[in-house]
């Protein structure tokens, strides 16, 4: 099986459209979305429609929950809260119902998915480094845990009792090791690379591959400004931070 695994679109239609075009060339058998289809960007309706068209298996992100009223926006910073309040006014009841179907956790044969962490997934905590990653390995038995949320691609490997950080473009799964993989962000990368980021997992080849894709950043940024959303959501697209 070839899985297209991606996260954190954040209403960025230009990035998501480009990603979908690339995925069409990748012979994907199943799409899995790791959460946060909305927030920050100017096209929540259109990105939700694209996601529905992929027939992807979806899990919820904190922005998805906040936009449907499941998460108190007081936990967000003021700018992110402003984006959520704007987004709530844009999408339809049917789209809200669609977002409400997203679970917190999804399991496949040899991997498990969550937006943030398995340690209290409803709290949407971050994995910033080895110490946070190590807390999650005892919580799953599968070969891989796929996450998003930090907007930073990369991974962690557990060999014996040791956890190490991985930043290779391709990660070959080794017998006896287990992995935590962050798929990065389609619509708002924060690893100092402004290109959209996606992940392909080939379960037969036992290979995880990250792909970075250039897209029309200016078009996405201009629409953010035209809709009166905070300037930082536009400017950070150019620098990937």
Closest CA relative to residue 40, chosen from 67, 13, 10: 10
Q: Which residue has the tokens 């919820």?
A: 60
Q: Which domains does the chain carry?
A: 2-239 (3.60.21.10)
Buried b (16+ CB within 10 A) or exposed e, 155-171: bbbbeeeebeeeeeeeb
DSSP 3-state helix, strand, coil percentages of the chain (rounded to 5)?
35, 25, 45
Dist CA 83 CA 102 (whole Å) = 20
Tokens of 188: 């708002």
Report the DSSP pairing between strands 154-159 and 2-6. Answer: unpaired
pLDDT at 136 (0 to 100): 97
Q: Which residues pair with 144 in a beta bridge?
A: 111, 179
- In this structure, what token pair is assigned to residue 237? 């697209």
- As a whole-number percent, the residues of the chain with pLDDT over 90 amount to 98
φ, ψ of residue 133 in degrees (nearest 5) = -60, -40
136-182, pLDDT tens digit by residue?
999 999 999 999 999 999 999 999 999 999 989 999 999 999 999 99
pLDDT of residue 74: 87
First to last CA, the chain: 33
The phi and psi torsions of 227 (rounded to 5 degrees) equal -95, 5
Q: Which two tokens stand for residue 241?
A: 């931070």
Flag the least confident range among 51-60, 87-96, 121-130, 137-146: 87-96
pTM over 0.75? The answer is yes
């Amino acid at each position: 099986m070839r899985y297209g695994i991606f996260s954190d679109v954040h209403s960025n239609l230009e990035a998501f459209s480009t990603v979908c075009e690339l995925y069409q060339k990748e012979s994907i058998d199943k799409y899995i979305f790791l959460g946060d289809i909305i927030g920050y960007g100017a096209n929540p309706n259109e990105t939700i429609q694209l996601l529905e068209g992929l027939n992807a298996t979806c899990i919820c992100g904190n922005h998805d929950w906040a936009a449907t009223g499941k998460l108190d926006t007081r936990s967000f910073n003021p700018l992110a809260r402003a984006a959520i309040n704007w987004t709530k006014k844009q999408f339809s009841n049917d789209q809200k119902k669609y977002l409400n179907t997203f679970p917190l956790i999804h399991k496949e044969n040899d991997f498990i998915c969550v937006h943030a962490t398995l340690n209290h997934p409803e709290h949407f905590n971050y994995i910033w480094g080895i110490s946070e990653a190590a807390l999650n390995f005892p919580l799953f038995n599968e070969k891989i845990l796929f996450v998003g949320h930090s907007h930073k691609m990369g991974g962690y490997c557990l060999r014996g009792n040791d956890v190490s950080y991985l930043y290779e473009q391709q990660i070959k799964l080794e017998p006896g090791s287990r992995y935590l993989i962050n798929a990065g962000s389609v619509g708002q990368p924060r690893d100092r690379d402004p290109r959209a980021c996606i992940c392909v997992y080939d379960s037969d080849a036992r290979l995880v591959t990250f792909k970075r894709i250039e897209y029309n950043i200016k078009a996405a940024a201009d629409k953010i400004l035209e809709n009166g959303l905070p300037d930082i959501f536009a400017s950070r697209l150019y620098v990937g931070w």
